Chains A and B, each alone.
Chain A
Amino acid sequence: DIVMTQSPDSLAVSLGERATINCKSSQSVLYTSNNQNYLGWYQQKPGQPPKLLIYWASTRESGVPDRFSGSGSVTDFTLTISSLQAEDVAVYYCQQYFSSTRTFGQGTRVEIK
């Protein structure tokens, strides 16, 4: 199975500052035939189900604020929150869907400093 490793495990960022979460896959998730990275990002707030933020590594889901952006390719990916808001406190997960078993990263907890 493809192993997804996120860093850091947690981070504390001041309101209005940038938060950066990294996700590394143990093998490429870039499908060369369509040049798409098979990677998504989810946000999970306490007591709630996850919410899809980003798919194809950089395409924002409808309704997701534009302060959330995804980047990266092949094995290294980043989720950036450009200006952290109080409502962004959550755990964030990356997930690859390149292989038949669609593994998640272990999660990154984002808090307010």
Chain B
Amino acid sequence: QVQLVQSGSELKKPGASVKVSCKASGYSFSTHAMNWVRQVPGQGLEWMGWINTNTGNPTYARGFTGRFVFSLDTSVSTAYLQITSLKAEDTAVYYCARGGGDGYTSDYWGQGTLVTVSS
């Protein structure tokens, strides 16, 4: 069965970096895109962008350029989200989500990774 398992919660200080992992299993990793979605506690969903798991080409939504980097390690079927120069407002749950058969929606989701930025 398809599973996306994300790394555990992180507590970071402002200015630090964090790298969230998303390990996929149960399907051929390079046949489905990987989306990233942010959810600030108690708030709605924000689509951050996606990465083409075949070419490694990332696409970032407006507001998620510069400090946010999507990457892959196809040898271990894992996608990564790195955030640099962390700010308090980056405190959120970050989800990876597999691109659906239509190529656009997200049909399987990771459990989410809470990143807390606090001094």
Contact = CB atoms under 8 A, between A and B. Distances in A.
A50 B109 contact: yes
A50 B107 CA distance: 9
Nearest to B102: A55
Interface residues of B, number: 21
A51 interface: yes
10 contacts: A38-B104, A40-B104, A49-B112, A50-B109, A95-B45, A100-B59, A102-B35, A104-B44, A104-B46, A104-B47
Interface of B: 35, 37, 44-47, 59, 61-62, 95, 97, 100, 102, 104-107, 109-112
A104 B45 contact: yes
The 4 closest A-B pairs by CB, nearest first: A49-B109, A97-B104, A40-B105, A104-B45
Given A49-B110, A97-B105, A100-B59, A55 B100 contact: yes
A55 B109 CA distance: 16
A26 to B, nearest CB: 15
Q: Interface residues of A: mostly helix, strand, loop or mixed? A: loop
Interface in A2-55: 38, 40, 42, 44, 49-52, 55
A95 B59 contact: no
Contact of B109 (A51, A97, A101): A51
Given A52-B105, A52-B106, A52-B107, A101 B47 contact: yes
B62 A50 contact: no
A106 interface: yes
